[in-house]
Structure 1
């Protein structure tokens, strides 16, 4: 997803924008980080499961933002931590500074200029960038990265623990052993160890 995309002749010069530069124009540093994670998961470089990322592929990406993602999760790490680390990285900051130098992004608040919006609209209308670059994770189609690799369904973080607790509560034999000495009040908040 890091293919280079040539800007129109109306824009100045021969500089090319890539998917992450368009992501920066569309949604700032957060969109850049999200787009890099989605791209790496779709290519099989990262594994996404239970809201955690893990490097599984041997690919060494050439784009600095993708390298920042790989560096941010040397072991299994929560997605939100990886995205926060990448969005505050020097690689994303450098990408934004480059867009400022091209006058596609404003210096202070880093919002797109008129030329930046025009460039983004042009890329969107011609379909040169993936939907998740323009719209974030909401732009993912069902069955893509939302389900993880090979169509598997991911499980939310606390769902497994909740199901185990529900199973213990419904299991009559297990529940009687745990309720000895309890006040008979059903689900207690006391010191049971999970």
Structure 2
């Protein structure tokens, strides 16, 4: 699915593909999910038990799909593949292109009004795969949906923050029950005569 967008300055038409639309619908995460789903559907990747593996020597034309294949030459956990792909030039280049077209804001990389309108137009055309718009919730229950709905779906940094908060709470409970600072430590001078 490819659609055209006219840029303001030059008036030249810019073509948007399925991964551009995926970015507008759900950001970087949706692009990665969409590429994996498309490659699994075509039989290029296998996704079983939360692990991705290349099973076909296809060299897809889209750079995002090539990056996904390069990220899992052997069987690899989905979470590891997602982490590897978050730092790939192909994903950054897609986002920068959408920023340049005025469809995504530069700072937070969220769709602008023009981006939301372009996505709405593509939705009304009805040619985008459902998973591009809705993510893994559009998939039927099965190994692909289960494999992609794992722990990697937490926003960046949230897992680390939650672990730190848990550790801080554990540390705090150790101090209040372990005899530090005068709590529960017993002692005293024994009183009496």
Select the residue among 1, 7, 10 that pairs with 2:4: 7
Q: What do the CA deviations read for 1:147-183 (whole angstroms, capped 9, x no partner)?
A: 89xxxxxxx9xxxxxxxxxxxxxxxxxxxxxxxxxxx
What is residue 61 of structure 1 aligned with on the other side? 60
What is residue 98 of structure 2 aligned with on the other side? 99
- Runs of 5+ consecutive residues of structure 1 not aligned to the other structure: 149-155, 157-194
Structure of greater Rg: 2
CA contact under 8 A between 1:31 and 1:133: conserved in structure 2? yes
- CA apart distance, 1:142: 4.4
CA contact under 8 A between 1:42 and 1:144: conserved in structure 2? no
What TM-score does the superposition give when structure 2 sets the normalisation length?
0.69
User: How far apart, CA to CA, are the structure 2 residues paired with 1:128 and 1:56?
Assistant: 28
CA contact under 8 A between 1:72 and 1:85: conserved in structure 2? yes
What is residue 122 of structure 1 aligned with on the other side? 121
- Runs of 5+ consecutive residues of structure 2 not aligned to the other structure: 151-193
Give the direction of change, closer, same or farther, for the CA distance of 1:49–1:8 in structure 2 (3 Å limit).
Answer: same
Alignment: residue pair count: 146
User: How far apart, CA to CA, are the structure 2 residues paired with 1:74 and 1:10?
Assistant: 38
- CA apart distance, 1:144: 8.8
What is residue 72 of structure 1 aligned with on the other side? 71
